[in-house]
């Protein structure tokens, strides 16, 4: 390196660094907008809970008897769409189902101030269910809630069960890691320029058909259909999604996983045998905390068995909800 280059490279380094710090603030990002003016589905409804608008879908039972109530909560980047194939089989068997979009996802509000800790989500969803119960006939309202969550949503329903076990009938975890809190790592990525780059990357690079197709291919363990890609992509394209997901990264907090061992509820694990996102090794750790839990591992299924192996999941879940405990396969 000659003398001139030795003198100028620190300047170029500083200029490059300054550009990287400033550039993401110059790229446009959509702002949150009111998305509750229309109902996206025939059974859609909105409720304002503690200042945040939640979108949920209520599926009434097709049976004569009130067999039970089930809440379903989606995973990261998903929405109530995740359960569209599963729910009709549950309602046909006599169950009432509520599926809900967490803030920042699906058709719920894109808030730039919402606290995405699982404890806050749990409190808000119980308030939502209280309002749902208040509008139901007594034979339904007096029943306890089965709580089911997929992936990240498993952490939400777990927090709900911890908060109000007396209002809960059972806990269903679908490929749900109950991930330990990673506060120190998150602190680095929430530095303002890095967070802005994350938001820009989500809106301009990730939220498109090709990227969602690739993500679903890994999650499903097969090629997704065009309808499946659109089912996931449409809510992600709503204004303000990337910015609200930045707030999610800043504020997400998990509950202590050790509480699972003390939770006074029946627990049911359903897992895809070929899940590469939340692998079987995670299931083994959860089983160590709850050796009494029922477990179903579906061979050939990936991270979303309720979508790719719907019949098997529905059959097992209906048996579970009816307190019929067949001997499912167990991974040790």
Handedness of CA 37, 52, 159, 272 (dihedral sign): positive
More confident residue, 324 or 291: 291
pLDDT band at 63 (very low <50, low <70, confident <90, very high): confident
Q: Is residue 7 scored above 80 in pLDDT?
A: no
* The predicted structure's pLDDT at residue 262: 95
Q: What is the DSSP string of 147-195?
A: EEEETHHHHHHHHHHHH-GGGEEEEEEES---PPP-HHHHHHHTSHHHH
* The predicted structure's pLDDT at residue 26: 64
Average pLDDT over residues 258-272: 97
Average pLDDT over residues 242-268: 94
Over residues 133-152, the pLDDT tens digits come to 999 999 999 999 999 999 99
How many angstroms separate the CA atoms of 101 and 78, rounded? Answer: 8
Residue 259's SS3 state is helix
Q: Which domains does the chain have, with CATH numbers?
A: 44-321 (3.40.50.1820)
Average pLDDT over residues 63-86: 94
Average pLDDT, the chain: 89
Phi-psi region of 181 (alpha: psi -120 to 50; beta: other; left: phi over 0): beta
Q: Is residue 124 scored above 60 in pLDDT?
A: yes
In the block, tokens 């990264």 appear at 249
Q: Is residue 331 scored above 80 in pLDDT?
A: no
Lowest-pLDDT range, 2-11, 55-64, 226-235, 278-287? 2-11
Q: Is residue 182 scored above 70 in pLDDT?
A: no
Angle at 219 between CA 215 and CA 225, to 5 degrees: 70
Handedness of CA 17, 20, 21, 23 (dihedral sign): positive
How many angstroms separate the CA atoms of 307 and 75, rounded? Answer: 13
């Amino acid at each position: 390196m000659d003398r001139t280059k030795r003198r100028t490279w620190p300047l170029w380094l500083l200029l490059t660094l300054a550009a990287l710090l400033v550039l993401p603030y110059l790229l446009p990002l959509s702002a949150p907008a009111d998305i509750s003016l229309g109902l996206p589905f025939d059974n859609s409804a909105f409720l304002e809970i503690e200042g945040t608008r939640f979108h949920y879908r209520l599926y009434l039972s097709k049976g004569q008897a009130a067999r039970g109530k089930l809440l379903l909560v989606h995973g990261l980047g998903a929405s109530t769409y995740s359960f569209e194939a599963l729910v009709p089989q549950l309602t046909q068997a006599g169950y009432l189902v509520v599926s809900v979009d967490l803030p920042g996802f699906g058709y719920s509000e894109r808030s730039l101030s919402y606290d995405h800790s699982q404890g806050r989500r749990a409190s808000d969803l119980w308030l939502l269910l209280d309002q749902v119960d208040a509008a139901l006939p007594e034979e339904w309202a007096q029943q306890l809630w089965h709580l089911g969550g997929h992936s990240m949503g498993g952490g939400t329903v777990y927090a709900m069960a911890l908060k109000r076990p007396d209002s809960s009938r059972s806990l269903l975890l679908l490929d749900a890691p109950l991930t330990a809190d990673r506060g120190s790592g998150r602190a680095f990525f929430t530095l303002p320029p890095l967070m802005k780059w994350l938001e820009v990357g989500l809106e301009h690079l990730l939220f498109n058909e090709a990227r969602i197709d690739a993500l679903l291919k890994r999650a499903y363990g097969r090629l997704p259909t065009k309808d499946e890609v659109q089912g996931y992509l449409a809510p992600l394209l709503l204004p303000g999604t990337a910015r609200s997901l930045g707030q999610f990264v800043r504020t997400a907090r998990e509950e202590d996983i050790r509480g699972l061992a003390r939770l006074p509820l029946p627990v049911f694990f359903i897992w895809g045998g070929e899940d590469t996102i939340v692998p079987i090794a995670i299931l083994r750790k959860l089983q160590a905390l709850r050796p009494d839990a029922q477990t179903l591992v579906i061979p050939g299924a990936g991270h979303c068995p309720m979508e790719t192996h719907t019949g098997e999941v529905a059959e097992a879940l209906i048996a579970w909800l009816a307190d019929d405990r067949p001997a499912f396969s167990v991974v040790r």
